[in-house]
Amino acid sequence: MLERYVVDDVALVTGLASSLVEEGKLRGSILLHRRIVRSLGERFRSGDENALDSLKVLRESCERKGISIELIGSEEAGGDVRDVVREEATKNGAVVVTADPLTYRLCEALGVKTVRVEVRSEWSLEEVFRGNVMSLHLKEGVPARVKAGTPGRWRFLELSPEPVKRERLELFVLHLLQRVYEDESRTSFIEVDGKNVTILQYGEYRVVITRPPLSDGLEVTVVRPVVRKSIHEYSLPSVLMERLTTRAEGILIAGAPGMGKSTFAQAIAEHYRSMGKVVKTVESPRDLVLPADVTQYSKSSSSGSELHDVLLLSRPDYTVFDEMRNEEDFQLFVDLRLAGIGMVGVVHATSPIDAIQRVANRVDIGVVPSIIDTVIFMHSGEVSKVHVLEVSVRVPRGMKRADLARPTIEVKDLLTGEVEYEMYVFGERTFIVPVGRSQGTSHEEGRVQSVLNKLIGKHIDSYDLRVSGGVVRLEVPPEYMRVYVRKLQKRLHRICQQLGLELEVVPRK
């Protein structure tokens, strides 16, 4: 009696089912669920032009071998497609044909007959990631490339000039999934399993898989996430080590992508662990390489409120947040820090002051030093700048009247002790003013000019504005003098009076 085979979506899309037919390993009839056919159509309409090709190839293979294809089930069948396929196979007394490791294990556990297809991949991660290779980049229609070098000093190299074919890439993805399910240790797991994106951890490798319509083609990025490095290997100044050990409780690690932020955050986490502190992490995905006694929470698998409650109840001494991207992330960081938990946050920023501003814009300026007290900027894998924050109530630089005293945050260079920026609120705006070493109070002139330009530019064209030596000089085209008097005169005089500046307005020649 000829067997009947139910082909699942994985075996169909990867072309493995048609290969089995061509090899003569499937000699009965093929049962194809209507829900799978419908999903192929949806993928095609969403921009995945290869979605229906696999179905066509299977039909042509079956026609050559004299094998019939029968559609079964309903398009509207609910539940997970793995369950649908398994139930139909049981009902029809058929054999499940699959390359999906989870489907195979479920069928095996329930006693459903299964043909499992083993997958081999042409890319061996152990071979690719030799030497100083940082990441592997695969995309259909594009040559395979690797990023080689060190943080801040890397370049792309092609593994082969031939574009990667979709079929080869699908097999590589399937190979990785099989390896993940076969790894019984805690080092391999699926972090995100969405409709168009999959993120998994395979040993030390982080893998991101995207499909149309999210991306314009199937793409796989494999990163060796973090090189394990001790904090003592950074040769940090003693004043910074002393601060990290005894004083710092609100730390931001900032820098551009690929500059070694996560590597340094990992080193700090291990440093606090070695001091006997309870350390936990919040990651998305979890890719820091840490000892088993450091619990790593996944932001992808929980809500901000759940993480908030768990971390408050478990009472860690320090929480490493790698990395903060959206409003919810920053709010969680702020809430936990104000609750007394030591926080280490990783953020993308082009300069240390940009990182500070991302927090300052979300809270009252007076509590900023209670949230972040130390900002460490990374460049090319090394600590390039360290800022500390201190608050006082006084008249900011550039202002002259005593009644303008307000909470002012000084951003200092830790190594030199010099103030590099001042932060304060004036009106409804937060000002971050660079402070020079020798130019006294004139460093707010650029900021004042920027604010006035925004105000004047709404009403007047082709004007000339200069701020120098405590004097604001505005040259207005004659045809705009009436507009100036009616819409700007009182406001400009009031602003300049509050800032202790003299205002000169003359017609422009």
Binned at pLDDT 50, 70 and 90, residue 509 comes out as low
Q: What is the CATH number of the domain that holds 67?
A: 3.40.50.1010
Same domain for 253 and 193: no
Residue 438 clears pLDDT 60, i.e. is over it: no
Same domain for 303 and 209: no
What does the DSSP 8-state code read for residue 117? P
Residue 35 clears pLDDT 50, i.e. is over it: yes
Same domain for 246 and 145: no
Same domain for 386 and 290: yes
Binned at pLDDT 50, 70 and 90, residue 400 comes out as low
Same domain for 474 and 423: no
Residue with tokens 């993480």, as numbered in its chain: 307
Q: At what angle do helices 53-65 and 34-45 cross, to 10 degrees?
A: 140
For range 82-97, the mean pLDDT: 88
Paired strand residues for 97: 7, 115
Domain that holds residue 489: 443-507
Same domain for 236 and 213: no
Same domain for 412 and 473: no
Q: What is the pLDDT of residue 226?
A: 57
Domain limit, last residue, from 88, 116, 144? 116
Q: What is the pLDDT of residue 441?
A: 40
Same domain for 417 and 345: yes
For range 317-344, the mean pLDDT: 93
For range 46-53, the mean pLDDT: 74
Domain limit, last residue, from 170, 197, 223? 223
pTM above 0.85, yes or no: no
Q: Look at the chain and report how many structural domains it folds into.
A: 4
Binned at pLDDT 50, 70 and 90, residue 398 comes out as low
Q: What is the CATH number of the domain that holds 451?
A: 3.30.70
Q: What HEC string does 331-369 produce? A: HHHHHHHHCCCEEEEEEECCCHHHHHHHHHCCCCHHHHH
Same domain for 289 and 249: yes
Same domain for 355 and 376: yes
pLDDT (tens digit per residue) in 222-231: 988 656 789 9
Q: What is the CATH number of the domain that holds 235?
A: 3.40.50.300
Domain limit, last residue, from 61, 94, 116? 116
Q: Pick from 384, 381, 456: which is nearest to 413 by CA? A: 384
Same domain for 81 and 215: no
Residue 416 clears pLDDT 70, i.e. is over it: yes
For range 238-257, the mean pLDDT: 93
pLDDT (tens digit per residue) in 154-181: 888 999 899 998 888 988 988 888 888 8
Q: What is the pLDDT of residue 436?
A: 58
Same domain for 397 and 306: yes
Q: Pick from 406, 414, 456, 412: which is nearest to 431 by CA? A: 406
Q: Pick from 469, 430, 428, 472: which is nearest to 448 by CA? A: 472
pLDDT (tens digit per residue) in 108-137: 888 888 888 777 788 888 889 888 888 999
For range 289-311, the mean pLDDT: 86
Binned at pLDDT 50, 70 and 90, residue 403 comes out as low
Angle (nearest 5°) at CA 264 between 260 and 268: 170
Q: What is the CATH number of the domain that holds 213?
A: 3.30.450
